[in-house]
């Protein structure tokens, strides 16, 4: 058998293959070791962009930087941009940036974890850095309300909600507070449907506002002055912030201290604030009768005012929420008073005036489904007044306790007769218990109310708002017996939206009931020649109001105009019946009011300068009722008036902010007097420091001291009486505000009860 011969390869190639195999094996082992010993799992990371109004925003460029690596993407139609990132030790530190022509850029450092998505809220861009390609619609109007988007351009980052409201078209800010154009009374202020004050608005950041709702007619209250409802953004993030504001007056003794704190978790919202003010005031009054000085009085007042609030929202489940709010307000104003009359000098006397109130609101809200909501509401209100004088000694007291309960059902998009309706049905009960100075027996009253609302569209141009309130109310005082009456209070509003703007016609019947101050039969004593007395037999006052409104956006500006005609019956007014020194309250008049208003608001110079201008002309005619014409010493009052207001703000370079308020109301008329006013000019200059953590403000109210000088002319039979009043309205001051923590967002549960049927001083 042939012997086989094998080829024996050279030794060097064999060594190269073995070396290569060893290298490959080493790399494979190293790879496996790196997977287990130094694992770098890849996780999906999603970023969602939310607009200030709460909707998702697409086409936002999002960039992520990790060490030297950069990733970029854009949000889709749902506002989401998705990345795949390696996660180290279950977390990773990244830098996130956004770009958009319409929203302010974001540049922030974040620590992210696997499978944990991030939601970021966008803010409107500073329009000084944006090329305008169109004008954003700032309002939605229907027959029930107007909903405004808030423009934050030209405001400091630390600006508050009370400043942002001054820019809303149709809202006028005066010495009386916030008013709706065409209405001489202060509007009711609400935050997420909960009644609030201007002080509390000064605690809410302007950037937290999602929108502002303006209603000329309240749903179930006699809010003839209208409602301004500030809707805040909804944000689930855990937030904590605080603020301390302190100020002092430079023109006279006085200071203010106001701390606040806010907290939010996934289940609870909590906000607390308080305020304390001390102020020393001086004023005087000179009374002329038949062109001769009859009375001179002068006072020095030491005011101490305090207020505070605690508000909580609790989300019990996705369908159940509750809110509980408690607030207090009070003041003490001891004063030294000196007066003289026609050669008779009164010795110096001491006067003590005080007021204190408690206010509790509770709401439980249940979402039955996507279109139906049920609310249970309760409210308690208590207030007490006290006025005590010496030489001679007099004591005037008034106190009221009020309990209210309400159940409300709301249903949206209910189809009926080929149209979709937004309806609401509610019942409300009010009980009031009033105690007076000399009486141990209370004055009791109650109101039982049923109301129904319907808002629907007729076509793409017209929509209708219908509101019907029925009230069964009663009252009694000691042994005078009880009385019950039925009141039917309808409201109808028809609105047209077209290319030329929005037109609306509103008819409303409303009622005002007298409060304890008007019912108290005790004498409120100022001096021997200035006294007032209540009347337990007062009846409610009714009025019918007709309003024609027009509004239109013109570029970035906004034009508003309205005509208001009102007829008042059983008018409650102070009249002189027996002498010229004591006035009493009677249903002694009837009135007609015609009001013409035009307003214009516009941002200028790329939103650095913002203007809100309003001019109102009114004709008032108050006449004495025939039953009192022969006995009353008052004559009635009639005439024209003109009111002009301007709110101007300017955002200067280097975080300087200037605000100017100009107001001139030439006269105000009551049933028996006319108050003649002079111009008022308020200036505030603010400098923001330390990355918006610290604000330094200088304010000068009533700069020229003109507004503090008022002249009151009385319309009396057989006597010419004029009073010159010098009030402490002019002062110069400085304040310092320090902020810490993060911005706080609060979530709405539902509107609380608001009673506006009772008239107070």
Same domain, yes or no, for 461 and 569? yes
Q: Give the tens place of pLDDT for each residue, 369-411.
A: 878 899 999 999 999 988 888 777 788 888 889 999 999 999 8
* Cβ atoms within 10 Å, residue 203: 25
Q: What is the model's pLDDT at position 3?
A: 37
Same domain, yes or no, for 86 and 212? no
Give the containing element (helix H, strand E) for 516. Answer: helix 516-519
Q: What is the mean pLDDT of the chain?
A: 82
Same domain, yes or no, for 201 and 253? no
> 473 lies in a domain?
yes
Q: What percent of the chain has pLDDT over 70?
A: 84
Q: Give the tens place of pLDDT for each residue, 486-503.
A: 999 999 999 999 989 999
> 36 lies in a domain?
no
Which of 179, 206, 232 is the last residue in one of the domains?
Answer: 232
CA dihedral 152, 156, 161, 162 (to 10 degrees): -110
Q: Give the tens place of pLDDT for each residue, 527-542.
A: 778 888 888 888 889 9
Distance separating alpha carbons of residues 389 and 524, to the nearest angstrom: 10
Q: What is the model's pLDDT at position 760?
A: 46
Distance separating alpha carbons of residues 601 and 610, to the nearest angstrom: 8
Q: Is the peptide bond before 392 cis (omega within 30 degrees of 0)?
A: yes
Give the containing element (helix H, strand E) for 57. Answer: none
- DSSP string covering 399-466, please? EEEEEEEEEEEEEEEEEETTEEEEEEEEEEEEEEEEEESS-SSPEEEEEEEEEEEEEEESSSSEEEEE
**Which phi and psi (to 5°) does residue 3 adopt?**
-80, 130
Same domain, yes or no, for 195 and 297? no
Distance separating alpha carbons of residues 257 and 259, to the nearest angstrom: 7
**Cβ–Cβ < 8 Å for 365, 377:** no
Q: What percent of the chain has pLDDT over 90?
A: 28
Q: What is the model's pLDDT at position 661?
A: 93
> 33 lies in a domain?
no
* Cβ atoms within 10 Å, residue 289: 18
Q: What is the model's pLDDT at position 618?
A: 94
> 619 lies in a domain?
yes
Same domain, yes or no, for 197 and 245? no
**If phi over 0 gives left and psi between -120 and 50 gives alpha, with beta otherwise, what is residue 460?**
alpha
Output the CA–CA distances (angstroms, integers) from residue 602 to 139, 148, 163, 182, 343, in the order listed.
Answer: 14, 14, 15, 19, 57
Q: What is the model's pLDDT at position 558?
A: 92
**Cβ–Cβ < 8 Å for 158, 165:** no
Exposure on the CB side of residue 681, measured as CA atoms within 13 A: 5
Residue 460 has pLDDT above 70, yes or no: yes
Confidence band for 84, pLDDT divided at 50, 70 and 90: confident
Bridge partners of 194, per DSSP, are 191
> 644 lies in a domain?
yes
Domains of the chain: total: 3
Same domain, yes or no, for 550 and 426? yes
Q: What is the model's pLDDT at position 7?
A: 35
* Cβ atoms within 10 Å, residue 150: 23
> 753 lies in a domain?
no
Burial of 549 (0-12, 13-18, 19+ CB in 10 A): buried
> 79 lies in a domain?
yes
Same domain, yes or no, for 109 and 163? no
Same domain, yes or no, for 464 and 440? yes
Q: Give the tens place of pLDDT for each residue, 10-41.
A: 444 444 555 555 555 555 555 444 444 444 44
Q: What is the model's pLDDT at position 113?
A: 62
- Across 9-145, the runs of DSSP E, i.e. the strands, are 42-50, 61-66, 69-74, 80-86, 91-99, 107-113, 118-121, 139-141
Q: What is the model's pLDDT at position 20?
A: 52
**Cβ–Cβ < 8 Å for 144, 549:** no
Same domain, yes or no, for 587 and 519? yes
The CATH number assigned to the domain holding 117 equals 2.60.40.10
Output the CA–CA distances (angstroms, integers) from residue 338 to 82, 203, 295, 392, in the order listed.
Answer: 76, 39, 11, 13
Which of 73, 95, 123 is the last residue in one of the domains?
Answer: 123
| pTM recorded for the entire structure | 0.74
Name every residue whose Cβ is closer than 8 Å to that of residue 143 and which is 6 or more positions away in sequence.
455, 463, 464, 465, 493, 494, 495, 504
Q: Give the tens place of pLDDT for each residue, 196-233.
A: 888 888 888 888 888 899 988 877 665 557 888 888 87
The CATH number assigned to the domain holding 189 equals 2.170.130.10
Average pLDDT (75-100) is: 75
CA 431 to chain centre: 27
Average pLDDT (716-725) is: 89
DSSP letter (8 states) at residue 115: T
Output the CA–CA distances (angstroms, integers) from residue 294 to 392, 469, 519, 634, in the order listed.
Answer: 20, 50, 30, 19
Name every residue whose Cβ is closer than 8 Å to that of residue 748 and which is 6 or more positions away in sequence.
192, 193, 231, 232, 234, 313
Q: What is the model's pLDDT at position 755?
A: 57
Q: Give the tens place of pLDDT for each residue, 303-336.
A: 999 999 999 989 888 889 999 999 999 999 888 8
> 588 lies in a domain?
yes
Name every residue whose Cβ is closer than 8 Å to that of residue 234 and which is 6 or more positions away in sequence.
54, 210, 745, 747, 748
Pairing of strands 709-716, 443-457: unpaired
Which of 208, 232, 256 is the last residue in one of the domains?
Answer: 232
Confidence band for 740, pLDDT divided at 50, 70 and 90: confident
Lowest mean per-residue pLDDT among 239-253, 647-661, 737-751: 737-751
382-392 exposure pattern, b = at least 16 Cβ within 10 A, e = fewer: bbbbbbbbeee
**Matching residue, tokens 């650095």:** 608
Q: Which residue has the higher pLDDT, 746 or 171?
A: 171
Q: Which residue has the higher pLDDT, 622 or 175?
A: 622
Distance separating alpha carbons of residues 464 and 479, to the nearest angstrom: 47
Q: Give the tens place of pLDDT for each residue, 569-628.
A: 999 988 888 888 888 999 988 999 999 999 999 988 888 899 999 999 999 999 998 888
Same domain, yes or no, for 396 and 519? yes
Residue 56 has pLDDT above 90, yes or no: no
Residue 475 has pLDDT above 50, yes or no: yes
Same domain, yes or no, for 197 and 297? no
The CATH number assigned to the domain holding 444 equals 2.40.170.20
Lowest mean per-residue pLDDT among 33-37, 145-149, 360-364, 643-647: 33-37
Distance separating alpha carbons of residues 635 and 623, to the nearest angstrom: 7
Pairing of strands 107-113, 91-99: antiparallel
Name every residue whose Cβ is closer than 8 Å to that of residue 76 and which is 6 or more positions away in sequence.
58
Q: Which domain holds residue 146?
A: 137-232
DSSP letter (8 states) at residue 231: E
Same domain, yes or no, for 379 and 271? yes
Q: What is the model's pLDDT at position 705?
A: 82
Lowest mean per-residue pLDDT among 143-147, 415-419, 509-513: 415-419
């Amino acid at each position: 058998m042939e012997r086989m011969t094998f080829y024996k390869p050279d030794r060097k190639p064999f060594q190269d293959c073995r070396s290569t195999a060893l290298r490959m094996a080493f790399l494979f082992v190293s790879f496996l070791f790196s997977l287990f010993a130094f694992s770098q799992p890849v996780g999906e990371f999603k970023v969602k962009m939310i607009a200030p109004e709460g909707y998702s925003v697409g086409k936002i460029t999002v960039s992520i930087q990790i060490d030297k690596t950069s990733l970029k993407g854009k949000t889709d139609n749902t506002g989401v941009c998705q990345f795949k990132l390696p996660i180290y030790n279950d977390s990773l530190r990244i830098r996130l940036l956004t770009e958009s022509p319409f929203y302010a850029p974001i540049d922030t450092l974040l620590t992210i974890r696997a499978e944990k998505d991030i939601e970021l809220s966008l803010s409107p861009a500073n329009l000084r850095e944006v090329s305008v390609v169109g004008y954003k619609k700032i309002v939605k109007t229907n027959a029930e309300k107007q909903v405004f988007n808030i423009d934050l351009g030209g405001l400091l980052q630390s600006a508050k909600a009370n400043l942002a409201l001054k820019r809303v078209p149709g809202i006028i800010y005066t010495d009386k507070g916030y008013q709706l154009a065409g209405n001489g009374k202060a509007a009711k202020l609400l935050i997420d449907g909960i009644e609030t004050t201007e002080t509390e608005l000064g605690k809410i950041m302007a950037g937290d506002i999602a929108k502002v709702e303006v209603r000329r007619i309240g749903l179930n209250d006699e809010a003839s002055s209208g409602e301004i409802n500030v809707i805040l953004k909804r944000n689930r993030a855990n937030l904590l912030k605080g603020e301390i504001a302190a100020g002092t007056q430079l023109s006279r003794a006085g200071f203010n201290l106001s701390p606040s704190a806010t907290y939010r978790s996934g289940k609870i919202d909590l906000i607390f604030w308080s305020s304390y003010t001390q102020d020393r005031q001086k004023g005087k009054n000179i009374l002329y009768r038949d062109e001769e000085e009859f009375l001179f009085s002068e006072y020095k007042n030491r005011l101490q005012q305090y207020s505070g609030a605690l508000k909580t929202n609790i989300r019990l489940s996705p369908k159940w929420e509750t809110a509980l709010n408690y607030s207090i307000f009070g003041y003490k104003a001891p004063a030294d008073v000196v007066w003289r009359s026609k050669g008779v000098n009164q010795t110096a006397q001491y006067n003590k005036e005080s007021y204190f109130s408690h206010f509790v609101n509770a709401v439980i809200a249940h979402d039955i489904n996507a279109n139906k909501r049920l609310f249970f509401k309760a409210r308690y209100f208590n207030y007490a007044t006290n006025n005590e004088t010496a030489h001679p000694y007099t004591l005037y007291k008034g106190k009221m306790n009020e309990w209210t309960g309400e159940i409300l059902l709301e249903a949206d998009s209910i189809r009926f007769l080929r149209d979709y309706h937004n309806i609401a049905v509610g019942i409300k009960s009010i009980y009031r218990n009033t105690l007076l100075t000399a009486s141990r027996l209370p004055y009791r009253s109650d109101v039982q109310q049923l109301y129904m609302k319907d808002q629907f569209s007729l076509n793409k141009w017209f929509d209708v708002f219908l509101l019907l309130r029925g009230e069964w109310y009663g009252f009694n005082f000691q042994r005078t017996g009880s009385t019950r009456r039925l009141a039917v209070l309808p409201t109808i509003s028809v609105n047209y939206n077209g290319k030329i703007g929005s037109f609306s016609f509103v008819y409303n019947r409303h009622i005002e009931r007298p409060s304890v101050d008007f019912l108290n039969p005790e004498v409120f004593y100022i001096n021997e020649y200035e006294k007032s007395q209540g009347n337990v037999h007062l009846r409610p006052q009714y009025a019918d109001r007709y309003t024609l409104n027009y509004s239109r956006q013109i570029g970035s500006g906004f034009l508003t105009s309205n005509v208001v005609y009102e007829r008042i019956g059983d008018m409650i007014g102070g009249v002189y019946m027996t002498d010229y020194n004591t006035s009493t309250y009677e249903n002694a008049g009837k009135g007609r009011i015609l009001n013409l208003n035009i307003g214009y608001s516009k941002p200028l110079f790329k939103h650095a300068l913002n203007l809100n201008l309003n001019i109102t002309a009114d004709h008032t005619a108050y006449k004495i009722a025939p039953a009192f014409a022969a006995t009353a010493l008052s004559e009635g009052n009639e005439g024209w008036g003109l009111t002009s207001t301007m709110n101007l703000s300017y955002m200067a370079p280097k975080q300087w902010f200037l605000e100017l308020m100009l107001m001139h109301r030439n006269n105000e008329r009551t049933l028996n007097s006319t108050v003649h006013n002079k111009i008022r000019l308020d200036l505030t200059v603010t400098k923001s420091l330390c990355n918006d953590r610290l604000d330094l403000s200088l304010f000068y109210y009533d700069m020229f001291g003109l507004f503090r000088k008022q002249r009151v002319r009385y319309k009396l039979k057989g006597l010419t009486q004029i009073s010159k009043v010098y009030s402490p309205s002019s002062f110069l001051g400085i304040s310092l505000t320090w902020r810490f923590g993060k911005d706080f967002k609060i979530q709405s549960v539902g509107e609380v009860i608001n009673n506006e049927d009772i008239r107070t001083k």
